[in-house]
Structure 1
Amino acid sequence: MPILSKETKTAVLSAAHLKTETVDVPEWGDGVTVIVSEMSGLARDAFYAKREAGKVPISESQASLLLATVVDESGALVLDESDVANLRAQGTAAIDRIANVAIRLNGMQPAAVEDAVKNSAAAPSGDSGSNSASTSASQ
């Protein structure tokens, strides 16, 4: 297995490396399955930006998650905004099953999200490196 280097980075970074999992959805018909994919960083940013717009019903949030994660065999998204109402009308057992896989694949469990927020929002320790006096020193 090659180590990422300046020489190998183009080959490594030009292909998506997203995990997928097939989920049986018998509620939608005999033998029906969906492929749930991990989101790219950009897709995850868009998903969270949409959620930050305000409180949304669980069924709408789950439908948005499915739009961002249900793919076909080639990895192309299957669902779009025109499918939201129909997804929200489906039984909760099927939607919950698919959404739970999407949440797990994307590290979106509450504890994982809290850890990510803590890690990204952590204030740097020590001197900020600026020449300005600190707030406490200037008071």
Structure 2
Amino acid sequence: MALSRDAILGVNDLQVEKVFVPEWGDEVIIRGLTGEELDAYQGSRRQIRNAGTAQAEVVFIQDNARAGLLVKCIVDENGDRIFTDQDTGLLGMKNGRVLDRLYDVATRLSGMSDEEAEELEGNSEPPTASGGSTSSSPEMSSTALSPSYSDASAPES
């Protein structure tokens, strides 16, 4: 029997993972983005240059990309965001190595492909307006996930 609308909408399918950060002396909780949040984040990181011309290309805005995702994904024990979008610059001033490790977890939990994450990180050539890309990237490692938390009270971006 197939799932009903109410059954699908009633499932809390957001994944969370606790990550120990030795540099900070404790762990943080990373929550994957909802589909709506993921689309908004990815859209905020893309810009079309030379739109309407044969030279049109999609450019990925890398400024604080890691911190921009992490302010949306770091939550407390109740699943509530602990940062607002306005905290992006402040979080971006933290250790880049730490942010990179946490970003990898956030992209995996949010369902971003390795290729998308690498493009946002600037590790591959951006796709053309037709959507092609030259990136080939290794699988991200996977770890066991903790139970999901509700994000009903997460601040809007």
Moved over 6 A (4+): 111-114
Which structure has more helix as a fraction of its residues?
Answer: 1
**Any stretches of 5+ residues in structure 2 without a counterpart?**
48-58, 120-130, 132-157
Which structure has more strand as a fraction of its residues?
Answer: 2
The C-alpha deviation readout for 1:11-47, integer Å capped at 9, x for no partner, is: 441342111111111212x2x2111111111010110
CA contact (8 A) 2:107 2:117 kept: no
Once the two structures are TM-superposed, the CA of residue 112 in structure 1 deviates from its matched residue by 8.8
Larger Rg: 1
Q: Among the aligned pairs, what percent are the same residue?
A: 31
- What is the TM-score of this pair, normalised by structure 2? 0.59
Does residue 17 (structure 1) correspond to residue 13 (structure 2)? The answer is yes
CA RMSD of aligned residues (A): 2.7
Once the two structures are TM-superposed, the CA of residue 75 in structure 1 deviates from its matched residue by 1.6
Q: Distance in 2 between matches of 1:113 and 1:55?
A: 10
Q: Which residue of 1 aligns with 2:30?
A: 36
SS of the counterpart of 2:28? strand
CA contact (8 A) 1:4 1:12 kept: no
Alignment CA distance shift 1:16-1:94 (3 Å): same
Q: What residue identity is the alignment partner of 1:40? A: T
CA contact (8 A) 2:45 2:62 kept: no
Does residue 56 (structure 1) correspond to residue 61 (structure 2)? The answer is yes
**Any stretches of 5+ residues in structure 1 without a counterpart?**
115-120, 122-139
CA contact (8 A) 1:21 1:35 kept: yes
Alignment CA distance shift 1:57-1:5 (3 Å): closer
Q: Distance in 2 between matches of 1:44 and 1:113?
A: 16
- What is the TM-score of this pair, normalised by structure 1? 0.66
Alignment CA distance shift 1:94-1:113 (3 Å): closer
Greater relative contact order (Cα 8 A, min sep 6): structure 1 or 2?
2
